[in-house]
Amino acid sequence: MAGDPIQLDAWSRVQGSPTPLGATWIDSVKAWNFTLYSTDATAVRLLIYGSGDFLNPIRSYDLDPAVNKTVRVWHMLVAAADVPGAAYYAFKVDGQQNPSGGQLFDPDKALLDPYARGIFLPPDFSRAAAAAPGANDGKAPLGILPAQSPIVVPASNRPVPHTHDLIIYEMHVRNFTNDPSSGLDAATRGTYAGVIAKIPHLKELGITAVELMPIHQWDPQEGSRWGYMTLGFFAAHNGYATGGVAQNAFGELREMIDALHAAGIEVFLDVVYNHTTEGNQLGPNYSFRGIDNSTYYLLNPDNYSEFINDSGCGNDMRTAHPAVRQLITDSLRYWAYALDVDGFRFDLASILTRDETGAISSDPPVISEIGSDPRLSTLRLIAEAWDPAAYELGRGFPGLTWRQWNGKFRDDVRCFIKGDDSTVTALMTRLYGSTDLFYDDTLTDYRPCQSVNFIDCHDGLCMYDLVAYDNDGQNSWNSVSPGQDENSPAVAALRKQQIKNFCALLMLSNGTPMFCAGDEFMNTQQGNDNPYNIDDPKVWLNWNLLTANQDIFRFFKYMIAFRKAHPSIGRSTFWNQQNPDVQWYGVGASPDESAESHSLAYSLKGATVGDSDIYVMINAWWEPLVFTIQEGAATDWSVAVDTARPSPDDIFAPGSEPAIASLTYNVQPRSIVVLLHN
């Protein structure tokens, strides 16, 4: 697509156009069109800056409401010839200064355009200056002016969406390659280009989708290093660009996504529309609060000077308001069209279900608008369907076709592998696809793929730390029995075995599997279960562990390949128990669902999807158990996986699986065996 996004009539050539929002280059008239939405502003000043002086603008324009305002949108056309050397822009906005009425206008503050497509942080950028009263000139974030060229959207190279072979890999762009052990040069480490350099690793592992922790521009002075404190919803984070050059961020991000697509890997963006980096009433006045505070944020109805904070991050966005709904959908469409991404993961998505008062709505407008959009509705939409004040997992979340992060899967599988009592029944439900949360009937027609199954994510302990540290809140166990030396070979072997158990159950479960970058080679965060504010080797991936733990990498790679090779596991429907597709067993003919039981077996028929039958035996007890295989003859079965065996006999390449000797199998303590029908 090329050409002007705005067609100007004669009057618009004088006053500018009220659409689209933000700054837009119009090549036909060699000018920028600026627009800003504000419900209660009484005056707006547009500031244009050059590339070297961020304190004094080249020119400033006071917009005349009689000419440059249409309803609630302020707009102006500025010819490039009038501002030679122009590079950046900002606004100053005045209005009633009435905190108790929810209005926080400060005419001295330089404010960032909420629709800025690129954000520049000057050398003296200061969060403290934005939070203090008075001017912050020279210290404010600035919007980058769009390039003086026609808009050109590159042709799409998106891969065909994956089905049963969808494997999601959660990744933080900087942490992924920032450690010198990544083998990359200093300029490439921790960047979008660094991800490109590691695509061969992703392909060898078998990853078919990466879920990028936030790449929207976030505030580097807020304290969090994960990216969840968004400064601008339309700008790529410049800290991940080579050399941190803001002007290069979007282009390098696009190159990374194109390279992933060329490798057949889908790209999902983790997006944060539930709150912003501006925090509570004591936070910085960067953009939203100084432009239209009562529109953008949910305020306490008993005291409008206070923000509702169900997100736990200082503020909640007022997502039911038409202007905020438009901001969210415009942002999503921008990334969908400009970057051609394959989907979005919505952080604390329950905030999106709040109505204008902050109460939960059964039919939230923003969810409906996303679902009815002709482009967005075709993408992968993934909800973290909870926030600190509401848990809407499964049928409670109103996005009926959305995938959801399944926190119940995480909790139940962790507890079972740790050896907790009363966990067998829950494990059966999770393996089956979490029918207690996602069921298909004539009313809802949920699918098991909507359950995004995970053992770990950026929140909480990573997979290795789950088996190396005790943390009751994380359902973890350090794999050390009373009297054992933690540094003994036996403990190290058990930790590897438990990680293989986690991987096996994740890949054997109906639903959509997801795990964290580095799990495949036992990366550790040294027991830190919330390293949101850390940016050092404790959270950067240590690629030396890939060499040290090639056996675990091999297991992950082969287990992923096993799942892909057997579409009977990740079906589009739940395993049928009437035909049946699945039959549950224990060490004998019936599953033991008592509180003291720690074992389970099942067979999964593959005929309905043209697949081989699979027989799985699971022993989470600390003693060996002899399972009696309930189907066929011994000659019918071969061993595909046995997590108790050392590598390479823990998982076999297709065609090399050894036959079993009898219909009894001694399943070792804390291990999983998978048989494949010959």
Confidence of residue 272 (pLDDT cuts 50, 70, 90): very high
Q: What is the pLDDT of residue 151?
A: 75
Q: Which residue has the tokens 């011994």?
A: 634
Domain ranges of the chain: 2-152, 168-284+313-565, 582-677
Task: Establish whether 252 is a catalytic residue.
Answer: no
CA distance 358 to 300: 9
CA distance 240 to 172: 10
CA distance 5 to 25: 8
Helix (H) or strand (E) holding 556: helix 550-565
Q: Which alpha helices (H) appear in 387-441, and where do they start and end?
A: 407-418, 424-432
Confidence of residue 165 (pLDDT cuts 50, 70, 90): very high
CA distances to 117, 340, 379 from 155, in Å:
20, 9, 17
pLDDT at 15 over 70: yes
Span 411-426, average pLDDT: 98
Query: Phi first, then psi: what are they for 170, rounded to 5°?
Result: -80, 130
Q: What is the pLDDT of residue 5?
A: 63
Confidence of residue 155 (pLDDT cuts 50, 70, 90): confident
Q: Which CATH class is domain 168-284+313-565?
A: alpha beta
pLDDT tens-digit readout, 58-82:
999 999 999 999 999 999 999 999 9
Q: Which residue has the tokens 């290795």?
A: 464
pLDDT at 352 over 90: yes
Q: What is the pLDDT of residue 2?
A: 40
What SS3 string covers 341-401? CCEEEECCHHHHHECCCCCECCCCHHHHHHHHCCCHHHCEEEECCEECCEECCHHHCCCCC
Specify the fold of 582-677.
Answer: Immunoglobulin-like (2.60.40)
The encoded tokens of residue 83 equal 């501002």
Span 271-296, average pLDDT: 97
Task: Establish whether 255 is a catalytic residue.
Answer: no
Confidence of residue 422 (pLDDT cuts 50, 70, 90): very high
Span 357-361, average pLDDT: 92
CA distance 270 to 215: 8
Contact 319, 352 (CB under 8 A): yes
Question: Is residue 371 classed exposed, middle or buried when 0-12, 13-18 and 19+ CB atoms within 10 A define those classes?
Answer: middle
Span 86-102, average pLDDT: 95
pLDDT at 434 over 60: yes
pLDDT at 641 over 80: yes
Span 39-61, average pLDDT: 97
CATH of 2-152, one of 3.20.20.70, 3.30.1330.10, 3.40.140.10, 2.60.40.10: 2.60.40.10
Confidence of residue 589 (pLDDT cuts 50, 70, 90): very high
Span 98-112, average pLDDT: 95
Q: What is the pLDDT of residue 489?
A: 97
Span 440-465, average pLDDT: 88
Helix (H) or strand (E) holding 569: none
Among residues 211, 222, 266, 384, the one annotated as catalytic is: 384
CA distances to 329, 428, 514 from 216, in Å:
15, 39, 22
pLDDT tens-digit readout, 510-555:
999 999 999 999 999 999 999 999 999 999 999 999 999 999 999 9
CA distance 48 to 582: 66
Could you tell me which residues come within 8 angstroms of residue 493 by beta carbon, excluding any fewer than 6 positions away? 646
Percentage of the chain with pLDDT > 70?
97
Q: What is the pLDDT of residue 445?
A: 78
Angle between helices 489-508 and 424-432 (to 10 degrees): 50
Angle between helices 489-508 and 550-565 (to 10 degrees): 20
Q: What is the pLDDT of residue 574?
A: 87
Confidence of residue 501 (pLDDT cuts 50, 70, 90): very high
pLDDT at 3 over 70: no
Q: What is the pLDDT of residue 577?
A: 63
Cis, peptide link before residue 65, omega less than 30° from 0 = no
Among residues 179, 347, 581, 613, the one annotated as catalytic is: 347
Q: What is the pLDDT of residue 622?
A: 97
Contacts 24+ apart (CB under 8 A), 427-431: 427/505, 427/600, 427/618, 428/584, 428/591, 428/593, 428/600, 428/602, 430/406, 430/509, 431/505, 431/508, 431/509, 431/510, 431/602
Could you tell me which residues come within 8 angstroms of residue 524 by beta carbon, excluding any fewer than 6 positions away? 462, 464, 465, 468, 542, 545
For residue 268, the cross-strand partners are 211, 343
pLDDT at 442 over 80: no
Would the pTM of this model clear 0.95, i.e. be above it?
yes
Instruction: Quote the radius of gyration of the chain (alpha carbons, Å).
Output: 27
pLDDT at 310 over 80: yes
Contact 460, 530 (CB under 8 A): yes
Contact 310, 387 (CB under 8 A): yes
As a whole number, the mean pLDDT across the chain is: 95
Identify which of 314-323, 386-395, 607-616 has the greatest average pLDDT: 314-323
pLDDT at 12 over 80: no
Confidence of residue 627 (pLDDT cuts 50, 70, 90): very high
Q: Amino acid letter at 319?
A: T
Could you tell me which residues come within 8 angstroms of residue 141 by beta carbon, excluding any fewer than 6 positions away? 112, 119, 120, 121, 125, 231, 232, 286, 287
Smallest Cα–Cα separation from 347: which of 376, 313, 396, 307? 313
CA 532 to chain centre: 14
Q: What is the pLDDT of residue 8?
A: 72
Contact 676, 637 (CB under 8 A): yes
**Residue 290, number of CB atoms within 10 A of its CB:** 28
Q: What is the pLDDT of residue 566?
A: 97
> What dihedral angle (degrees, nearest 10) is formed by the CA atoms of 608, 611, 612, 614?
-80
Smallest Cα–Cα separation from 520: which of 480, 479, 548, 485? 548
Task: Answer whether 2-152 and 582-677 agree in fold.
Answer: yes
* Percent of residues in the chain assigned helix, strand, coil, to nearest 5: 25, 25, 50
pLDDT at 250 over 90: yes
CA distance 560 to 569: 12
pLDDT tens-digit readout, 168-221:
999 999 999 999 999 999 999 999 999 999 999 999 999 999 999 999 999 999
CA distance 678 to 655: 10
CA distance 461 to 595: 27
